[in-house]
A and B are shown apart, each in its own frame.
Chain A
Amino acid sequence: MNPPNPAVARATVTVSAGAGYNFAYLDEGTKRMIRRAILKAIAIPGYQVPFAAREMPMPYGWGTGGVQVTAAILGAADVLKVIDQGADDTTNAVSIRRFFTATAGIATTTRTAEATVIQTRHRIPEAPLAEGQVLVYQVPIPEPLRFLEPRETETRQLHALAEYGLMHVKLYEDIARHGHIATTYAYPVEVAGRYVMDPSPTPKFDNPKMDDCPALQLFGAGREKRIYAIPPYTRVRSLDFEDHPFRVQRFDRPCALCGAEDVYLDEVVLDDAGGRMFVCSDTDHCETRLAEPRLAETRLGETRLADGHTGEAA
């Protein structure tokens, strides 16, 4: 074996992979393997499909699952948006977007409406998604029962037998202890009336957006080696009790920059005297509203109708 070319190695200090890598980094065989897993996941909504995750140039825990899913589905004509915490400019989103620019050369955008593929960590965009769009979620721990039952052999059985009593015991315990269900993010959902799924650490505020969504939702966990999916227009129901129904967080003030209401806000610390302000977590949403307020208001009006998707009132 020849010693590696130092010039190529040096170039990999930054994200650029240079010549010699396939489109979107993964070889075609790996992409086929991942796409087969994705198809199986779409056929069984909410079911975690094991896949042979590859070692990627970014660390486990930093989005390798999402990156592999995106790499497997990207085509030359796709337009990619990457967000982390709802923002395009956070360091990890920047890093991943650059990775795909370097390895696939595809167009990228910060505008939700213009993207064909959106890779996200911890947020669903405020703007309702459309048919033909794909939302790829980065997932750290795919197993919703993991913290109740650490053994994979056991949780596999529980899913196969649809034995989800344990999940409800946890919710019961929360109400008994705190008076409320204490899960505020990664809030478990039931998909298509069968599998219980972890939506990734999105705040429960975003759960309603997954229900009956026109876009395809794909979930990639690289370190844990699982892929799962919610096909478009699938029923997604957050677990709750009849007398303690699922509730989203509401902020009682609008975004301090653009005035948006009914959106998720980031708390910004201004000084050490308790000064705070709240701004849109979704930076594209905020910028769009600031640039074209009339257009954004129409969209917001549609958003107000139902759980965050366009269309007839629910």
Chain B
Amino acid sequence: MEPLLSVAGLTKRYGGRLACDGIGFTLDPGEVLAVVGESGSGKSTLLSLIAGEVAADAGSVAYRMRDGATRDLDTLSLVERRALMRTDWGFVRQDATQGLRMAVSAGGNVGERLMGVGDRHYGRIRATALDWLARVEIAADRIDDPPTRFSGGMRQRLQIARNLVTAPRLVLMDEPTSGLDVSVQARLLDMIRGLVAELGLAVIIVTHDLAVARLLSHRVLVMRAGRVIETGLTDQVLDDPQAAYTQLLVSSVLAA
């Protein structure tokens, strides 16, 4: 079967610095790929390139659309691109204030994508929002509160609901749990794992935390200084790292 996403030769330069150097990989439906590395490895840039927020200097990203046709994302018009980001793709940001409308209620945040694709029944939109708030374990009586009154963990859960409401097939996540308390992180990761399995989502998750990679991903891409150092099945790479840098990363993880 054709992969859902194919990335080839993706390259980005900032001045003299090579942020991403010829990155390539494929992603199958329902597959979770973790991109791990330390700060400055280029992993967040890679996500921005895939999402089309930053223009690549070289390389291509191809995606199999809902109608089965595989399209090079460069060939999509702006309308198609934005429609894709609003329906078939999700992007959960590290900073929830960037991924939510902070002045809009939780219900409005979840309902926006539905209204963006033409839903015009207030009652149904609200019911769907309530359903999703329950799935991300946000109390129903918070539906009319703006996320300014939510904790960090709640904001991330709201962001997830906002992205998943249109049943996307691919979700990008940029360090979704960093900055949260450890117990909150654990709960959030567990929830993400459940939803991913239940909905058959393909996910690319960027993280510096190997434990997150191990918990959520099938495969892992280890990046350093813009390059892929090692790639493979998560358990294999983390249990038996081949590259010296990967060995260093794995051995540096503090025992819990």
Contact = CB atoms under 8 A, between A and B. Distances in A.
Direct contact of A and B (CB under 8 A): yes
Contact of A169 (B79, B104, B121): B104
Contact of B122 (A163, A166, A172): A172
A243 B122 contact: yes
Contacts of B105: 173, 176-177
Contacts, number: 51
Contacts of A175: 122
Interface in A68-90: none
Given A176-B105, A177-B144, A169 B120 contact: no
* SS of B interface (majority): helix
Contacts of A163: 82, 116
Contact of A244 (B79, B101, B122): B122
A242 B104 contact: no
| A contact patch SS | helix
A203 B209 CA distance: 57
A162 B250 CA distance: 49
A243 B113 CA distance: 19
Q: Which of B122, B123, B126 has the most CB of A within 10 A?
A: B122
Interface residues of A, number: 16
A176 B121 contact: no
B168 interface: no
Given A241-B122, A244-B122, A165 B144 contact: no
Contacts of A243: 121-123
A168 B111 CA distance: 10
A168 B82 CA distance: 18
A177 B75 CA distance: 42
Nearest to A161: B79
A254 B125 CA distance: 39
Contacts of B112: 165-166, 169
Contact of B113 (A165, A176, A177, A240): A165
Contacts of A242: 120-122
Contact of B108 (A169, A241, A244): A169
B115 interface: yes
B182 interface: no
Interface in A151-174: 161, 163, 165-166, 168-169, 172-173
Contacts of B116: 163, 165
Most B CB contacts (10 A, CB to CB) among A161, A173, A175, A244 go to A173
Nearest to A172: B108
A241 B79 contact: no
Nearest to A162: B79
18 contacts: A161-B78, A161-B79, A161-B82, A165-B116, A165-B117, A168-B115, A169-B101, A169-B112, A172-B108, A172-B115, A172-B125, A176-B143, A176-B144, A177-B144, A240-B120, A241-B121, A241-B122, A243-B122
Interface of B: 78-79, 82, 86, 101, 104-105, 107-108, 111-113, 115-117, 120-123, 125-126, 143-144
Given A161-B78, A166-B112, A168-B120, 4 more contacts: A161-B82, A172-B122, A241-B122, A243-B123
Please list the 4 inter-chain residue pairs (A to B) with the smallest Cβ-Cβ separation, ordered nearest first: A165-B116, A168-B115, A241-B122, A165-B115
